[in-house]
């Protein structure tokens, strides 16, 4: 396809010789079959969906989602797709947005290492909304099978995380919310695969997604973050639907001179987009959180819970707390005086205070009521950060200096839920049960769990959403 001229600058929108990387990615998406996906990756896809349903059921009744539902329903073009844990039904675009929001609202969703992308919410939300509305969108079309959805999910996550690898770590440090900016590409690739688009059309879907990538770290801890996470699913879905109608895009939306990775980072690793493509799989670097907070806080909370469990002292005896970890820990979580439960999810001051004071770190401990506790707010001022770039991100040390002069400390080398200490299948299933109860939707968790573990044999992927609707 010839490069189009940019009327505002008179310059070509892409290099004349560019497009090879995008073409290779698109061809891989088009050619990959379920047979090509290793058994371990297939299983990790199912684990990701178990975690996705868990966190979406937890977030379904959160005020953020309630407000979004109230506004989005004014513009819904149909009722073909469900919102997990709720009775309302929407058109596929708005359902995709809302289900991505609910899965991410508590920051309890999965995390790809090392990009810190939360990969499942944008991709799975788009796929399930599409699967439910497929009969309305394409009358006479066969249902999307569980195997087909899982395959589309695998390739979507792969594209999403490879783009993240290409722009990391600079992209996030500059203030871009990487789940949102890269998630839109993952959703576009997944829906393109689910539709069986050609490699050229898949490239166009990625180009359409490149025009809609956005999201800022500044929004973390606020309701605004949910907008860009929802848009990643919605806009990625829209990008692929447009491409199916031959809505064309640039040759090199990823690697072009003004393509995403070169605009998003000054020194992108362009080779990361295709290096070992089809041999190394992003899902094998996916992790699942035991606590509802930023992933870099996991080892901090685990250390605090260990210290509290064995303590012969109370928080009133504490002079200060010294927190040692990778500089990224301070960069992302040095947030004193948080005002809401949402902000507390990315606050080391709150996480340390609540874990040491209560010996717990569940959703209730990262709620508005927990943040309002004046003793916890005051305790946060006793925290001191010690940066050590040689420490892995998944490790941390908490040293509690008592007023008596005694110091007790605990170092976590690999936090529970990390790649080195992953949550087991039974723990993920337990997480789904617990969070389904927390969300209060009335959805029975066990039928969902059973369906997810055998999902690749399901003839109609949309059946899962029927199990996930509120009674």
User: Residues 409-434: pLDDT tens digits?
Assistant: 999 999 999 999 999 999 999 999 99
pLDDT value at position 7? 37
Residue 239 and residue 345 in one domain: no
Assess whether 227 and 365 both reside in one domain: no
353 assigned to some structural domain:
yes
pLDDT of residue 368: 92
Answer for the pair 202, 154: CB distance below 8 angstroms, yes or no. no
pLDDT tens for each residue of 149-165? 999 999 999 999 999 99
Look at the alpha carbons of 231, 234, 237, 242 in this order and tell me if their dihedral is positive or negative.
Answer: negative
Q: In the chain, what percentage of residues exceed pLDDT 70? A: 96
pLDDT of residue 310: 85
CA neighbours within 13 Å on the CB side: how many for 440?
2
Mean pLDDT of 379-403: 94
Tell me, yes or no, whether 431 lies in a domain: no
Q: CATH code at 396?
A: 3.30.1330.120
Report pLDDT for 221.
81
Burial of 18 (0-12, 13-18, 19+ CB in 10 A): buried
- What average pLDDT does the segment 114-135 reach? 96
String of DSSP letters for 329-360: HHHHH---S--SHHHHTT-HHHHHHHHHHHS-
Integer Cα distance of 303 and 119 in angstroms: 27
Please enumerate in sequence order all residues whose Cβ is within 8 A of that of 310, keeping only pairs 6 or more positions apart, or say none: none
pLDDT of residue 18: 62
Upstream peptide bond of 169 is cis (omega within 30 degrees of 0): yes
Instruction: Looking at the structure, tell me whether residues 329 and 188 fall in a common domain.
Output: no
> How sure is the predictor about 67, in pLDDT bands with cuts at 50, 70 and 90?
very high
Ranking 38-42, 136-140, 375-379 by mean pLDDT, the lowest is 136-140
What range defines the domain where residue 357 resides?
295-412
Let me know whether 232 and 260 are in one domain.
yes
Is the pLDDT at 13 greater than 50, yes or no? no
Please tell me the total count of domains within the chain.
2
Average pLDDT across the chain, whole number: 94
Is it the case that residue 12 has pLDDT exceeding 60?
Answer: no
Question: pTM (2 decimals)?
Answer: 0.91
């Amino acid at each position: 396809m010839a490069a189009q001229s940019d009327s505002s600058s008179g310059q070509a929108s892409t290099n004349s010789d560019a497009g090879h990387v995008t073409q290779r990615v698109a061809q891989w998406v088009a050619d990959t079959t379920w047979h090509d996906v290793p058994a371990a990756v297939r299983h990790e896809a199912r684990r990701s969906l178990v975690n996705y349903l868990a966190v979406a059921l937890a977030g379904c009744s959160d005020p953020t989602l309630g407000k979004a539902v109230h506004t989005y329903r004014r513009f819904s073009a149909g009722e073909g797709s469900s919102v997990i844990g709720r009775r309302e039904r929407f058109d596929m675009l708005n359902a995709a947005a809302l289900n991505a929001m609910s899965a991410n609202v508590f920051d309890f969703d999965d995390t790809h290492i090392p990009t810190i992308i939360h990969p499942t919410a944008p991709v799975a939300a788009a796929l399930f909304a599409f699967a439910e509305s497929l009969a309305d969108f394409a009358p006479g079309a066969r249902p999307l099978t569980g195997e087909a959805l899982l395959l589309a999910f695998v390739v979507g996550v792969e594209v999403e995380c490879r783009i993240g690898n290409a722009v990391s770590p600079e992209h996030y440090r500059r203030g871009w919310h990487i789940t949102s900016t890269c998630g839109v590409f993952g959703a576009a690739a997944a829906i393109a695969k689910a539709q069986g688009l050609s490699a050229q059309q898949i490239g166009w879907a990625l180009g359409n997604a490149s025009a809609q990538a956005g999201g800022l770290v500044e929004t973390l801890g606020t309701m605004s973050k949910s907008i860009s996470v929802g848009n990643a699913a919605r806009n990625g879905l829209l990008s692929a639907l447009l491409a199916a109608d031959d809505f064309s895009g640039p040759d090199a939306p990823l690697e072009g001179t003004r393509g995403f990775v070169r605009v998003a980072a000054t020194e992108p690793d362009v080779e990361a987009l295709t290096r070992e493509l089809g041999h190394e799989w992003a899902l094998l670097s996916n992790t699942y959180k035991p606590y509802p907070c930023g992933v870099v806080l996991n080892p901090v909370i685990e250390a605090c819970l260990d210290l509290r469990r064995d303590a012969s002292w109370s928080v009133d005896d504490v002079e200060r707390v010294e927190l040692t970890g990778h500089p990224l820990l301070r960069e992302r979580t040095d947030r004193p005086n948080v005002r809401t439960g949402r902000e507390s999810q990315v606050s080391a001051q709150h996480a340390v205070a609540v874990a040491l004071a209560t010996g717990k770190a569940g959703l209730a401990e990262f709620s508005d009521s927990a943040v309002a506790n004046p003793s916890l707010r005051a305790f946060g001022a006793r925290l001191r950060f010690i940066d050590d770039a040689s420490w892995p991100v998944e490790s941390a040390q908490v040293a509690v200096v008592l007023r008596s002069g005694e110091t007790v400390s605990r170092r976590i080398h690999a936090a529970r839920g990390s790649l080195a200490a992953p949550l087991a299948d039974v723990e993920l299933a337990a997480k789904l049960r617990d969070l389904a109860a927390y969300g209060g939707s009335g959805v029975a968790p066990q039928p969902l769990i059973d369906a997810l573990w055998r999902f690749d044999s399901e003839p109609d992927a949309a059946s899962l959403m029927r199990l996930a609707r509120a009674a």
